Structure 1
């Protein structure tokens, strides 16, 4: 992953949380995995890696939800805008590309989590890197065994 020096800002829909970055990684991507679909409330999520030393929260800070014991999702507690995915063992965090003031600055280069890709997105011109099992092989078991996401069906009780 190459570090790209830049200047970019972004934040949530209501403005309660704002950030500024001085570098990004060449990892702009969309992820179709089921966890990302649920976290975004959408068909996929667009993310870009940011070195931890290159981000400053300039107004407020995101609230978080531990989507597994290994990762958390960040969002604005006031308006609900998804802002980040943070795998704890990584040297970077992933910010939602759509939360940047100029999201066109970071077009997605690849797709991940294609096992959950909806058929209508099967012909995107963005290179597909593979399934979650393939692209997250070193982490997928730890995430799966500590998954805190509600299953895709109604349950009588939650959490389990």
Structure 2
């Protein structure tokens, strides 16, 4: 049972199951991965010989190059996978327990943002530490799908009085 991993997107429209040992867990710093994840890097795990099953829904794909296509949830935009001739990689952050999958190598380091190596030096705060500056945090209702499989999925809709940014951003 240790080699069974589940995961999915933020909204729950897509869920997956990986059975068997994965091949490699990595962080990719290439510019394509930065843009695909909207982040400094992309944490990915190679499916390898493990069995990947999309248990609810299927990703929509964007072809980011002549060899690579990237899967994401059409409903919420969560990045889910990277597919290339050498195999399929899954987004580590999309797993229900991402802490079980530790990266062992970094790729695309020519695109690494210089300060990434110093992120661990930044001051740390828990979410509740920001309540004075952002009091709305005390009243957040989480619309994300839980970090486990569910029998049913229905999209959550936001209430009509939900806060929306203005053109000025506030």
TM norm structure 2: 0.66
Q: Distance in 1 between matches of 2:45 and 2:30?
A: 16
2:108 to 110, 113, 125: 113
Aligned counterpart, 1:57: 54
Q: What are the ranges of 5 or more consecutive residues in structure 1 without an aligned counterpart?
A: 126-160
Q: What is the root-mean-square deviation in Å for CA atoms of aligned residues?
A: 1.8
**Aligned mates of 2:110, 2:119 — CA distance in 1:** 15
Q: Which has the higher strand share?
A: 1
Q: Does 1:122 align with 2:117?
A: yes
Q: Quick one: higher RCO (CA 8 Å, sep 6+), 1 or 2?
A: 2
CA deviation profile, 1:26-65 (whole Å, cap 9, x unmatched): 3101000000000000000000000366100000000000
Partner of 1:15: 12
In the other structure, the counterpart of 1:144 is: none
Match in the other structure for 2:160: none
Relative distance call for 1:53 and 1:25 in structure 2 (3 A) is closer
Deviation per residue, 1:121-142 (Å, 9 max, x gap):
23689xxxxxxxxxxxxxxxxx
Assess, with a 3 A threshold, how the Cα gap between structure 1 residues 24 and 80 changes in structure 2: closer, same or farther. farther
1:26 alignment partner in structure 2 = 23
Distance 2:49 2:63 in 1: 18
TM-score between the two structures when normalised by the length of structure 1: 0.70
Distance in 1 between residues matched to 2:111 and 2:3, nearest whole Å: 32
Spell out, residue by residue over 1:81-136, the C-alpha distance to the aligned partner (whole angstroms, 9 max, x if none): 0000000x22x3000000000000001111111111111123689xxxxxxxxxxx
- Secondary structure at 1:122's aligned position in 2? helix
* Contact 1:24/1:49 (<8 A) preserved: no
Is the radius of gyration larger for structure 1 or structure 2? Answer: 2
- Name the structure 2 match of 1:70: 67
